[in-house]
Structures are given as C-alpha cells and as structure tokens.
Amino acid sequence: MLNPLDKIKTQVKRLSAYTLNAPECRVKINQNENPYDMPEEIKQEVMKRLANRPWSRYPTFVPVDLLVTMAKFSSWRADGILAGNGSNELIQALLTVTVGQGTKVLISEPTFTLYRLLIEILGGEVISVPLKSNLQYDTDLIKQTAKEKEVDLVIICSPNNPTGCVIKDSDLIDLLKDFSGLVILDEAYHEFSKHSVVPLLKQFSNLIVLRTFSKAMAMAGLRVGYLLSHPDLAKEIAKAKLPYNLNFFSLTAAIVTMENFHLLSPIIDKIIAERERVFVALSKIPGLEPINSQANFILTKTSIKPSDLMARLQTKDILARDVSRYPMLNDYVRFSIGTEEENNELLETLKQTFS
C-alpha cells in the first residue's frame, strides 16, 4: 500500500512545525509587535493612494518605487535591495539559493527558531555555537568554529531574539574579514538599538542584512521585509523569490511609512524609554532576573516555572511568551514592551505574583 508520506523528505518528517499557541488576551506582549499601532495620518494617506489605484492590475514586476524609497531610507543602493512578504520570506529565499545537502550553517543559539527549521528542511547542517552563560554572543568561539569547521554561512541575529544581546561592529568586522563564506545579519530589531550594520555593506561583499517592517515600523499585519546586499548577490537571491510576492497594499503602506518616519520616531523612542523603565522595575522584583536588552522585549529568568507564570498572567488577560523550550532558557520568559499602561499592568501583576 502506497504511503503518500514516503515522498516527504525524512529530515522534514523529523521536524516540528513553527507554531504559535496564542490565546486572545487584552495585553498582548508575546510577539514583539509595536504596541502603539500606525499613526492615523499614515493610514489615511495609504487609503487615499489605494483608492486611486486599479485593484484589478498586478503590482509592477519590480517594485521600483518601493526599492528606491528603501534605498534612500537605509542609505544603500536600490539594486542591492529585495523586498519580501515579511523578512521571513527573504530568509527562505536566501537559504534556498545557498543551502543544499550538507551545507554548513553556523547559528548561535538560542536564537530565532526559523533559521534552524529552514536549514534542516533544505538538508543543511546546523553548526550551533551556544551563547555564553551570561547569554551574550561568544564571538571568539563563533570565529574559531566558522574557520575550523569551514562553514558556508553564518547567521547572526542582532539584537538577538529572544535574548536582546547584540554583536559589536568590531567583532562582526573580524568575522567578515577572514571568512570565505557569507554572513547574514538579521537586524529585525535594530531601531530599538539605534544602530545598523548597513554601512558595512560598502566594505564587505559577503555581508547580507535583513530588516523588517513588523516591529518598530508598526506593520506586522501587512508583512513587509527587505534584504540588503551586494547587487550581484541580490540578483541571485531574487531567483528564489516568487513573482509579485508583495501586494500593492503592503508596498504602498511601506512607502508612506518611510516617507513619514518622523511620525514613528517618537513612538520608537518611547518604547526604548519604556524598555529601560521596565528593566529597572523587573530587577527589583524578587524571583525575577531580567537580561539587558537592545530590542523591544526583555528576556527574564523566573523562579516560578515559566508555564505556571504564563498561566497566572493569562488569568489577568496578559499574554507573554514562554521561551523555556529554547536551549539554555529553561527558566525564562520573554516580555515584549507594551504601552506604558500595559507595562504598568504587567509589573503590578508580577509584583503581586512574586510577593
């Protein structure tokens, strides 16, 4: 008897799917979204442009207006930029053109779980370098392992999800300098660290940078991300991207948002200030140990079992993230930074829980 599952790759059947178990809660601090929503002025301008455009027509084949605006916004060249339906899609396209059976990809775990999943689906070998015990990047070990194991790719997430740690430019430069492979730097949360590695693209043709509109840019619901690299690399990666991957609603919203970034900037500053305030408040709660973060979330060690703490928060209609299944993070939860009121509610509930 034919079993249709026999035709699925063995390495795929071994994997667990990327899932999110997320009950509806009033205070939603589980996905590192921007809690303040898009300013109304930007929404109105997007609606106006959409109303004036025929919906029956495809978007233009290459979204030149979007790429040119992204180039100006990021100070990189338009022919070295690809736009995607979320940066997830570009991670997939990039790995599709680089990873095959046995390709060695170094990642430093715990990190964003999608990297490992896609590498394994494609038949690549994950070379995992653990973070240091203080949950910071072990850049010496990364450099040494990259060389010794002759890895093809290194993926670094900075600021890292879910720890919030960053790699220093000087360490990244050292890695890029004597390495014959590609280095992918996912800076999905860079706005919250007020730093970007995009200026390094001029100097290093083996660097690829990923960015998203889902976090600071307040557009998670519209799915836009972009990749920045040497134009020759972008041309190759584009081959694995589906035609018309970005609908004109999302691409129009991305353009208007970049044109009006001055409206988002104070919101981002507010989130950063809230992160600092929440960090100090969390450190004062006995039983909690927050980890310093450069992103819009705080990884926190808890003396109460993470699943029990999640359940307790949910009784108060607060949804945070249990990250205890990640390597090294048995005793950890992750709180995204919410609005000032939401953060106060979280802190109040935590104070009561740990008293």
Q: Considering beta carbons, is residue 25 or 304 the nearer one to ligand PMP?
A: 25
Kindly tell me which of 89 and 345 has the beta carbon lying closer to ligand PMP.
89
Nearer to ligand PMP, 82 or 350 (CB): 82
Question: Which position has the token pair 């053109």?
Answer: 97
CB of 88 to ligand PMP, least distance (A): 3
CA angle 28, 30, 35 (to 5 degrees): 50
Of 187 and 345, which CB lies nearer to ligand PMP in the complex structure?
Answer: 187
Nearest distance, CB of residue 228 and ligand PMP, angstroms: 14
**Minimum Å distance from CB 289 to ligand PMP?**
22
Contact 251, 265 (CB under 8 A): no
Phi and psi at residue 278, to the nearest 5°: -65, -40
- DSSP code at position 79: G
Whether the Cβ atoms of residue 31 and residue 264 lie closer than 8 Å to each other: no
User: CB of 194: closest distance to ligand PMP in angstroms?
Assistant: 17
Compare residues 175 and 323 and give the one whose CB is closer to ligand PMP: 323
Q: How many other C-beta atoms are found inside a 10 Å radius of the C-beta of residue 186?
A: 27
The residue number with the shortest CB distance to ligand PMP is 86
Instruction: Count how many Cα atoms sit within 13 Å of the Cα of residue 3 in the half-sphere of its side chain.
Output: 3
CB burial of 258-292 (b: ≥16 within 10 Å; e: otherwise) equals: bebeeebeebbeebbebbeebbebbeebeebebbb
Q: Kindly state the smallest distance separating residue 255's Cβ from ligand PMP, in Å.
A: 17
Footprint on this chain of ligand PMP (rule: CB under 6 A): 86-88, 112, 157, 161, 186, 188, 212, 214, 220, 225
